[in-house]
Structure 1
Amino acid sequence: MDILILGGTQFVGRHIVMAFLASGHRVSILTRGRTADELPANVERLRGDRGEAGGLDALAGRSWDACVDVSGYLPSAVRASAEALRGRVGRYVFISTASVYAEPDRHPVREDDPLLPPAPEDTTEVTGPLYGPLKVSCEQIVQGTFGEAATILRPQIVAGPFDHTARYPYWPDRASRGGETLLPGDGSDHVQVIDGRDLARFTVQVVEQGIGGVFNLAGPRLSWAQFAQVLGIQEPVWVDAAQLEALELGFRELPLFIPDAAPQGGLMDISAERALAAGLTLTAPEVTARDTRAWSERADLSYALSAEREAEVLASIRAQP
């Protein structure tokens, strides 16, 4: 099959490109050419920025069996690509996010749960509070344009090699240093991610099999105590949420930690039953951790919680009566 990827050089897109190639398909990518490109030479590079006038000129007169939109954040850009490709791609797969849900305290969060109100289509900036509403707007554009030929994928936090967000990689990197390790909560809260390679394989599957609809993508749901075991942490020091707040340590410093009872706790309880029934396969958590560490030890990532700051926090905790 001939596949067009909007994006494709970084993290999730890179995994998707590699998965299509591994399945024997021909891949073209449309990118702005501003980020490092380590893809194989047999990937066709097309240059363009759909957010600008003439930014889709490289697609003129071409058709593909499917388009996978990895880089759709602003509704105006997604509108441009969806309308330009209508009638020229057999399926439009939009990579959305689990952050579209309006009630993220539900346990579990399912595809038919209420969504956030869509952001205005003329929004020009992606911010934290607008991220979910913007993706809702983009989803609606794709569904309205392609109907049954639209597939919406809503991944949980994505993990694995090539993850320059430095969220998941913090944990296998920290575990590799050994010693007393600051861990959030008491071990009973939960953490859940989706390996980028699992997301990529499922993307190939929905294209090959012509599967439409909306799918949450999430991996195994582990307690933090189980996650610590997966990581191989030998000396955990558990710090409850109240202490963490007092120490001004949050999601940025201790990524992936959302207490089960928090207003967003359902985001660590995403149901992937529909995708699993459709053929989603999951990588073992131990493999995700191992492979992420093998990549990240050479990736020169930086983290909000330095080793020095962690040592200070641990010392202050030990000093408490």
Structure 2
Amino acid sequence: MSPITIFVCLAIGIANIVFGILPATRSTPPAQTIKAPLSNATPTVILPVAPYHPRPVMLGSASEYVPPDFTRDGDIQAKKQAFYAYLLPRIDQTNQEITRERQWLLNLQARLAQGTSLNDADQIASLNPTSTDAEAAAIHNEASAIHNEAAAIHNEAAALRRLGRRYNMAAVGDAPGALEDYVEKLLLRVDVVPASLVIAQAAKESGWGSSRFAREGNNFFGIWCFNRGCGMTPANRDAGRHHEVAMFNTVTEGVRYYVRTINSHNAYDKLRQIRAAARNNNQPFGGEQLATGLLRYSERGLLYVNEIQSMIRYNRLQRFTREYSA
């Protein structure tokens, strides 16, 4: 090889190292678009939620923004770090959406306690067609993103009904105090689920992301469905059983469904009571504490609960606990 050829090769190599020409540099993903939680209105654009812990971990060609291949052989700790980095932003996004819903309910509860009826607020907003956007915003001055939306559509009651249906609540009654009682019960359901619990169950149910249902159906939580063709048929399903394992379009959709199940299914009422008691006493709550309310998540009952709690402790998953403002 001539000296000129050697020089050119060295120059290209140095340029690649210094300027990052090869391989292609990894860039921040574009902003995500999600629908507002209470309507089919114009989607709200939010910035990507970066993992707050741990630092991004590469596994093959994957990063925190691309699903890693969790089935690859390799260092188990690297796999776990990649698992955390991939799921945590989706968990945080889901909890932030719930926090906005909860803040709207808390604001409504405070107004009702002051004697302001829901109908009065609706009449002011909806029966006065000359009211301006600024006046509507002033009426709902405590509005969060969801409350602003309710003001915009001039129907707070409809927003409350939609939220109730989302969390599997029966319709509000007409008796005196029924609305206040309804909001109080709904607040038991509209609350965050600690990341430590979500991570532990996702890891347990999906084999740290390696299961067929996680890889092919974005289902990290072993969630079942019961209509023919609704999901994937388990290979070892017992004779006489007809359940399938649900499929989701995205992992975020699967996380949302799991959290909503925890927050709305009657089987997890105990978990919600534990969380509410901590709220009432101004105490923090974590995944290990709430896991005691998962006795009916698995047919294995208490053994399953103990395994989830052990996973939280062994992997120090409480470090992912994050406080939210509502």
Counting helix residues as a fraction of each chain, which structure ranks higher? 2
Superposition TM-score, scaled by structure 2 size: 0.24
Indicate the structure (1 or 2) with the bigger Cα radius of gyration.
2
Q: TM-score, normalised by structure 1?
A: 0.24
Q: Which has the higher strand share?
A: 1
Question: Which fold has the larger relative contact order, with Cα–Cα distance below 8 Å and residues 6 or more apart in sequence?
Answer: 1
